[in-house]
Amino acid sequence: MSQNTRYLLSACLFAVVAFLFIQFYWIKTYYTSTLINFERDVNLAFEDGVKKEFMLRCDTIQQAIENNLMDSSKFIISSKFHPTEKVQVYTIRSTKDLNDNFGTSFSKQQLNQPLTKGDVSLKRKIAAAFAQNIRQEDLENHFIYYRTQDLGRYIEEKANQYQFDTASLRKTFNYYLNLRGIKSDYTFILKNKDSTLNNRPKLFSRFKQPIVTKSFPTYLLEKNSYVRASFIAPFSYVISKTWLLIASSIALMVIVCYLVWFLTKTLLSAQKVALIKEDFISNITHEFKTPIATVAVAAEALEDADTIQNSEKRNRYLSHIKNEAQRLNLLVDQVMSLSLQNQTAYALYKETIVVSEVINQLIKLHQIKADKSLLVNTNIPEQITVEADKSQFYHALNNIMDNAIKYSDDQVNLEINSYDKNGFMIIEIIDKGIGMEKSELKLIFDKFYRIKNQYHSIKGHGLGLTFVKQIMEQHQGWYKIDSEINNGTKVTLAWPQ
């Protein structure tokens, strides 16, 4: 890996780590902010719920006082004009003890009419005004003033009857929670002693501890004098408020990580290809130089008059020139195939090919050019044919045979079989060469790839099997390779009929 590539990858890695850190910090900050807002909202809702529940109890007791005052068997309501103040003074007396009474007046705008016998409507207004005053002056201040003994005892009885109750509080609390869009489970905490100050936990511990509201007095004298609400799992509320941000942040992080991974993979792949191309150029240069040198030597020899007169030498040198020219032609065809590999519109010129003729031609060619002892056993019916591009069909088989000979010992044994099966014409080329690792079978068809073994020093350019793959795909056929170390290789090519 080059130094510039390492710098680039390090910069990308640093950028990704920094981005992930910023995103995490942003999400954590937003989550904490939402948690604080949740705490504020539940405290406001709880305060409103406690007040509303108390007011509802006051409403109930006030109505009971009003109805009790209207009961003529318990209380007598009368009026008397006060000449100095010029207002009507209304008096409430207990029927059990006429001396047990209490009098008051109201503003002229509110109530200032004399009460006559049988005036139920005005009596109801006076009773309602009395009950309203008792609520504002006594009940809402959490104490009871005995204006008359009977009335005082009655108010105390009702206050005890309608004491603080968590069931009633839950209804009003739920109402104010719903107004703020909060739907989280909670429980009430009742204590004999507590503080109305809200000593909330530190931020870092809020993720572990429940959210607890401020304490409010219940005004129960014997026990449970204070109440709080505890939200054990506010997670659902927080997620409902932050899910879009969290989801988009996670999606963005995944996209960025994928792009950096893809960039890294592309860079490493490009560098790998560059190294392979360097090896390819070195090998292909050698491949071209060898036949060129052979042709040059043969041509130089043919310039000698004695060689021209000697028919045996002349024919031998001409044969060398012909063979090397054919070898050069194959090399040029393989290199040119690279420019056609990505052209999906490459035209095939299909014709009927007699398979045995092409196989026999290739066997003769390799027997001449091979510097090893070559023995080929064939099992090819003479009548078997295939519809294919003859040039590409020839090159595909030639590449397979060339590899089989290259990667075999000094004694080369090949077996070539051909048969029809399931609408395909199958050709099998089997050698008893060195074979290859299972892990390399999926790589050998990649451009410029060469197997890594003791035979890697053999000159080659890593294009032969790539060319075969391209030819089979263009003909809509299939290919398969089976191999084991030291047990040889079997290549199967299937051509559609």
Higher pLDDT, 79 or 2: 79
| pLDDT the model gives residue 46 | 93
- Mean pLDDT value of segment 410-429: 90
> Cα separation of 374 and 126, whole Å?
129
Tokens of 200: 């909330």
| pLDDT the model gives residue 456 | 46
**What single DSSP character describes residue 497?**
-
> Cα separation of 64 and 159, whole Å?
10
Number of other residues whose CB lies within 10 A of the CB of residue 359: 19
Residues in the chain: 497
Higher pLDDT, 80 or 334: 80
| Helices and strands, counts by H and E, the chain | 10, 14
Q: Which of 153, 195, 188, 151 is nearest to 172 (CA)?
A: 188
Higher pLDDT, 345 or 309: 309
Domains of the chain are 30-233 (no CATH), 256-340 (1.10.287.130), 343-496 (3.30.565.10)
| pLDDT the model gives residue 223 | 78
Q: Are residues 448 and 469 in contact, defined by beta-carbon separation less than 8 angstroms?
A: no
Residue 131 clears pLDDT 50, i.e. is over it:
yes
E-only strand ranges, 341-485: 350-354, 373-379, 385-389, 411-421, 424-431, 478-484
The gap from C-alpha 66 to its chain's centroid, in whole angstroms, comes to 66
pLDDT in tens, 22-75: 877 877 787 788 888 888 899 999 999 999 999 999 999 999 999 999 998 888
> Cα separation of 402 and 459, whole Å?
12
| pLDDT the model gives residue 96 | 84
pLDDT in tens, 445-464: 776 666 665 444 555 556 67
Three-state secondary structure call for residue 25: helix
Q: Are residues 182 and 45 in contact, defined by beta-carbon separation less than 8 angstroms?
A: yes
Start-to-end C-alpha separation, the chain = 48
Higher pLDDT, 282 or 122: 122
Q: At what angle do helices 390-406 and 464-474 cross, to 10 degrees?
A: 150
Among 41-50, 121-130, 154-163, 267-276, name the one with the lowest average pLDDT: 267-276
- Mean pLDDT value of segment 124-137: 90
Among 10-19, 417-426, 448-457, name the one with the lowest average pLDDT: 448-457
Q: Which of 218, 470, 180 is nearest to 333 (CA)?
A: 470
Number of other residues whose CB lies within 10 A of the CB of residue 239: 13
Pairing, β 87-94 against β 211-212: unpaired
Q: Which of 401, 491, 486 is nearest to 444 (CA)?
A: 491
Candidate ranges 362-371, 384-393, 455-464; pick with highest mean pLDDT: 384-393
Residue 258 clears pLDDT 80, i.e. is over it:
yes
- Mean pLDDT value of segment 199-216: 64
| pLDDT the model gives residue 50 | 92
Q: What angle do CA 294, 298, 302 make, to 5 degrees?
A: 170
> Cα separation of 288 and 329, whole Å?
10
Higher pLDDT, 318 or 70: 70
Q: What angle do CA 352, 356, 359 make, to 5 degrees?
A: 105
Q: For the chain, give the percent of residues with pLDDT over 90.
A: 15
**What single DSSP character describes residue 434?**
-
Q: For the chain, give the percent of residues with pLDDT over 70.
A: 83
Among 56-70, 128-142, 283-297, 456-470, name the one with the lowest average pLDDT: 456-470
How many angstroms separate the Cα of 86 from the Cα of each of 89, 112, 133? 9, 9, 21
Mean pLDDT (the chain) is 80
> Cα separation of 254 and 276, whole Å?
32
Burial class (CB in 10 A: 0-12, 13-18, 19+), 273: middle
Pairing, β 373-379 against β 411-421: parallel
Q: Are residues 289 and 282 in contact, defined by beta-carbon separation less than 8 angstroms?
A: no
Tokens of 247: 């989801």
| pLDDT the model gives residue 201 | 47
Q: Are residues 155 and 138 in contact, defined by beta-carbon separation less than 8 angstroms?
A: yes
